[in-house]
């Protein structure tokens, strides 16, 4: 979809989206339309339950007095609540209201909102961003979809004052959307298309944006003693890879330590010998969600030329049962030298991360490391599908992540760590075991990861198992892969780590 920006004027064709605040207060363009149509919007509101609240909408078809094919009135709620996220939600809802109308173009009118902290051009840029995010579709494999089932609108105009400023502000946001879309694409692809080698190839495409890419194969990882990662991969015919992505957007700070992001990339997870139940196993194509977020984030940072030095590392494996697969009871040695007794081969993501995080710290010396993983079902039991679980060794990074999550609508909730939980993963025959028992599963998984974090590194672990995939539509996040984490971490970098 193409997004254009223009000055305010009523369209000659196609749908027009206008807005109202709580109490049914029409904004300027809606008032103009109401007058031109002899009060059609007022009559429609009086005949409905529309009060201008957030989440409400009202459509007037082919109103006399204007050339628009329909006028869609969308509620914004209270003026003081119209912030970046609310404006993005408005844009996403507007897109969904016009996408399937049969028209090829549509217009969203953005007016000044007295009481909002946002300038009109900021609302416009965010509305455009929200519309773009909401327009995502993964229809690559639909060969018989009827035209009526597809969006008809291919061009969307955001009309407002200061359209030039809005267009300028939208530019970097569109680059973030590119990263979001890449992550959604990767997470949506089936495991016969995306496996370690092909996912590494996808990451290599970022070199076009100036990202430095390096890929380690199984022989190179063996030389580095990555026994934990390789142990997970040994049952699969698809060979593992470890991909490093470097974005040096702050060359003057080249000698300073970077920020690092590490992602779990299990491209399909059967559970290995500790095999999962058949029901729902098809969902395990997105057990590489953490790696998808890191790849998409690096694309977003490079695309918008973020002034930061960042490293992204993803460990890519496939967890399969076979005659060569890792067995429960096996002991593996990690790159750090610590040994792990593998009690359950379905607790494999932490093994992959252990070696990937250690390599990242040894090679790149980050000041802060944030890992992302669809790590545990236990976090879904704890937090449902609304929040990612956050664990950390530093209060400051928690506060920053929490604030960034609220700003972009990707909330995180801090979970506890402690010595009592850590003792649950002590092994009788090795330095540790890879599970800690039935209770507190997401916590003991995080305790495991913490054993691979160096003392001088600020660390946060985001368990995104409950938020990587959505079974319902939202204004800016269509059903399917969410790319939860790309906007969160991009905002974190923008707010706190750019020079």
Active site residue 423: no
Residue 173 sits at φ, ψ, to 5 deg, of -65, -35
| CA distance linking residue 3 with residue 196, whole number of Å | 35
Per-residue pLDDT of the chain (499 residues; tens, 9 = 90+): 899 999 999 999 999 999 999 999 999 999 999 999 999 999 999 999 999 999 999 999 999 999 999 999 999 999 999 999 999 999 999 999 999 999 999 999 999 999 999 999 999 999 999 999 999 999 999 999 998 889 999 999 999 989 999 999 999 999 999 999 999 999 999 999 999 999 999 999 999 999 999 999 999 999 999 999 999 999 999 999 999 999 999 998 877 999 999 999 999 999 999 999 999 999 999 999 999 999 999 999 999 999 999 999 999 999 999 999 999 999 999 999 999 999 999 999 999 999 999 999 999 999 999 999 999 999 999 999 999 999 999 999 999 999 999 999 999 999 999 999 999 999 999 999 999 999 999 999 999 999 999 999 999 999 999 999 999 999 999 999 999 999 999 999 999 999 8
CA 328 to chain centre: 33
What pLDDT was estimated at residue 207?
98
Q: What angle do CA 450, 456, 461 make, to 5 degrees?
A: 35
Q: How far is CA 131 from CA 154, 183, 208, 480, in A?
A: 12, 18, 26, 17
* Closest C-alpha to 187, from 294, 346, 315: 294
Class for domain 176-496, per CATH?
Answer: alpha beta
Kindly state the tokens that stand for 255. 């000698």
What pLDDT was estimated at residue 372?
98
CA 70 to chain centre: 33
> Rounded to two decimals, what is the model's pTM?
0.97
What pLDDT was estimated at residue 458?
98
Q: 456-487 b/e with 16+ CB inside 10 Å = b?
A: ebbbbbbbbbbbbbbeeebbbbbebbbbbbbb
**Look-up of token digits 């079902």:** 377
The secondary structure of residue 429, as a DSSP letter, is S
Residue 131 sits at φ, ψ, to 5 deg, of -65, -40
With 0-12 / 13-18 / 19 or more C-beta atoms within 10 angstroms meaning exposed / middle / buried, residue 386 is exposed
Cβ(389)–Cβ(382) below 8 Å: yes
- The answer to whether the Cα torsion of 109, 107, 132, 469 is positive or negative is positive
Active site residue 350: yes
Q: 350-384 b/e with 16+ CB inside 10 Å = b?
A: bbbbbbbbbbbbeebebebbbbbbbbbebbbebbe
Domain ranges of the chain: 2-163, 176-496
If you compute the radius of gyration of the chain from its CA atoms, what whole number of angstroms results?
24
Q: HSE, CB side, 13 Å, CA atoms: give it for residue 51.
A: 6
Strand, helix or coil for residue 248:
strand
Span 2-163: which CATH code?
Answer: 3.40.220.10
CB atoms within 10 A of CB 80: 11
| CA distance linking residue 51 with residue 57, whole number of Å | 9
What pLDDT was estimated at residue 255?
78
Out of 81, 257, 276, 365, pick the active-site residue: 276
* Closest C-alpha to 317, from 370, 392, 265: 265
Cβ(259)–Cβ(497) below 8 Å: yes
Q: 104-115 b/e with 16+ CB inside 10 Å = b?
A: ebbbbbbbebee
Strand, helix or coil for residue 263:
strand
Out of 350, 433, 458, 491, pick the active-site residue: 350
What counts of helices (H) and strands (E) characterise the chain? 15, 20
Q: How far is CA 182 from CA 170, 246, 359, 370, in A?
A: 18, 17, 25, 20
| CA distance linking residue 259 with residue 366, whole number of Å | 5
Residue 124 sits at φ, ψ, to 5 deg, of -60, -45
* Closest C-alpha to 326, from 401, 398, 269, 258: 269
| CA distance linking residue 416 with residue 149, whole number of Å | 46
Helix (H) or strand (E) holding 75: strand 70-75
Q: What angle do CA 450, 452, 458 make, to 5 degrees?
A: 60
What pLDDT was estimated at residue 254?
73
């Amino acid at each position: 979809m193409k997004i254009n920006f223009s000055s305010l004027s009523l369209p000659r064709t196609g749908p027009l989206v206008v807005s109202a605040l709580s109490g049914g207060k029409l904004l300027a363009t809606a008032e103009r339309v109401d007058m031109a149509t002899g009060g059609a919007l007022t009559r429609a509101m009086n005949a409905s339950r529309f009060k201008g609240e957030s989440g409400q909408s009202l459509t007037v078809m082919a109103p006399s007095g204007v050339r628009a094919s329909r006028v869609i009135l969308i509620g914004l709620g209270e003026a003081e609540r119209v912030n970046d996220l609310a404006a993005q939600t408005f844009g996403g809802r507007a897109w969904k209201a016009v996408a399937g109308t049969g028209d090829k173009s549509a217009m969203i009118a953005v007016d000044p909102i007295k009481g909002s902290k946002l300038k009109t051009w900021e609302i416009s840029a965010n509305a455009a961003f929200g519309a773009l995010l909401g327009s995502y579709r993964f229809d690559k494999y639909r060969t018989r979809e009827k035209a009526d089932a597809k969006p008809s609108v291919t061009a969307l105009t955001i009309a407002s004052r200061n359209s030039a400023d809005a267009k300028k502000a939208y530019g970097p946001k569109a680059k973030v959307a590119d990263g979001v879309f890449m992550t959604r694409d990767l997470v949506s692809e089936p495991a016969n298309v995306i496996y370690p080698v092909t996912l590494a190839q996808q990451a290599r495409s970022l070199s076009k944006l100036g990202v430095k890419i390096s890929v380690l194969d199984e022989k190179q990882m063996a030389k580095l003693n990555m026994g934990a990662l390789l142990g997970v991969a040994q049952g699969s015919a698809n060979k593992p890879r470890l991909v490093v992505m470097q974005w040096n957007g702050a060359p003057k700070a080249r000698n300073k330590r970077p920020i690092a992001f590490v992602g779990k990339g299990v491209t399909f997870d059967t559970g290995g010998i500790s095999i999962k139940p058949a029901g729902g196993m098809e969902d395990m194509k997105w057990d590489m969600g953490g790696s998808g977020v890191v790849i998409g984030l690096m694309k977003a940072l490079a695309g918008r030329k973020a002034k930061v030095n960042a490293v992204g590392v993803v460990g890519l494996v496939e967890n399969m049962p076979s005659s060569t697969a890792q067995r429960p009871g096996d002991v593996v040695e990690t790159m750090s030298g610590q040994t792990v007794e593998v009690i359950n081969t379905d607790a494999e993501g932490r093994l992959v991360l252990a070696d990937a995080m250690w390599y990242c710290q040894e090679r790149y010396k980050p000041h802060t490391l944030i890992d992302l993983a669809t790590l545990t079902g236990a976090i879904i039991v704890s937090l449902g599908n609304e929040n990612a679980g956050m664990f950390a060794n530093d209060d400051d990074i928690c506060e920053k992540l929490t604030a960034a999550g609220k700003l972009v609508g990707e909330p995180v909730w801090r979970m506890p760590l402690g010595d009592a939980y850590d003792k649950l993963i002590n092994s009788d025959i090795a330095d540790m075991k890879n599970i800690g028992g039935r209770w507190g599963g997401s916590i003991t998984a995080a305790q495991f990861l913490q054993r691979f974090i160096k003392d001088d590194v600020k660390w946060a672990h985001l368990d995104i198992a409950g938020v990587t995939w959505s079974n319902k539509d939202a204004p800016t996040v269509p059903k399917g892969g969410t790319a939860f984490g790309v906007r969160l971490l991009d905002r974190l970098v923008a707010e706190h780590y750019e020079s």
